[in-house]
Structure 1
Amino acid sequence: MQIPQLRMESTFAQLGLSMRKPIQEIKQPQAEMNLSQKPAELNIEQAKTELQMDSSQARANIGIMTSMQFSDTNAAYGREKWLQTIAEKSQEGDRLMRIYTRENAIAEIGREKGLRVLEGGYRPPSTSNDEGVDISAQARPVVISVKRNGMSINPVTKPPELSYTPGKVEPYMIQYNNLKISVIGSHLDQMM
């Protein structure tokens, strides 16, 4: 006798995954330094050299005198003559005082004075062989000043640029689950 049997066939479900990887991009823009160098300032000052020439002595040596030199020369000449006169009067007094020498002092003194009048009066000082030009030069130092203006830095930093595309996982069915039940060996309706 044939016993009816139930036969079951099942298939498992198969699940598939569609994956898209995430994308992350990082870009770092270059920073800007913005350097600026200011030129240094250099100042050079050269003061004028002083040159002084005094030719008054040379002019006096050839007889051309300034009013001050002429008055100084006359004053010196007058002083010299005054001292000579004092000395002569002192000597004449001494000679007149010596009566015991039996000299005719008054007549001798008169004769000497008469001869001196014939010799002449004022004579300018003799010229010298020296040129008499005084030259002096005064050099001034060079003044150098340096001013450093330095440099300036104005950096501009830029933040990193980030872009992110998130990943995605999408499931899909490769095969759905299935269960088949069938009856074997029976005259029953096999359709269920």
Structure 2
Amino acid sequence: MNLPQIRLESNFIKMGLRIEKPVQEIEQPTAIQSIQQPKAILEIETIPGKLTIDQTKAREDVDLKNVGRRIEEFAQNGYQDWLKGMERRTAQGTELMKIENGGNPIAYQAKENSEGPPKQFNIGWVPSHNSVKIQYEPAKVNIEALPQKPKIDVEIRKPVHTYTPGKVSTEILEKNSLNIDFINLTI
């Protein structure tokens, strides 16, 4: 038995997309900078050191005395010798006044007046220890520094931005269709 049939054959639409991608460009120019650093104001004051060396005592120890010092010593020694001489003569005169008390004052005085004191000998240091006086005042340095702030100039540059938007377009690659077919139809 042949039954009548309706046959349907359909095709869907086929669509295509044409895409143009967007283009974006960003460029950042560098900033223009100007930096200057002024020199610091610097003041330096130096007070020189002072060295004082006094070698008067060392020179006196090696018998290199100045004229004023020699005159002063001679005057002092002469005065002391004069006082000792007066004392000796007074004592010897008193001994001679009392000659009757015995002894031999004339011989004793002759020996005393003819002989000097015994010589002294000892080890010594010439010049004597610490005879050179040294005094030192160190140098002084005063430093004053006044810093200067840097001078900075900056010119900011805006970024360069270009943008091309993308496009999407559609196209029909294959149209939709519907085929109808009849089979076993008797008319």
State the TM-score, normalized to the length of structure 1: 0.43
Which is higher, the Rg of structure 1 or of structure 2? 1
TM-score (normalizing by structure 2): 0.44
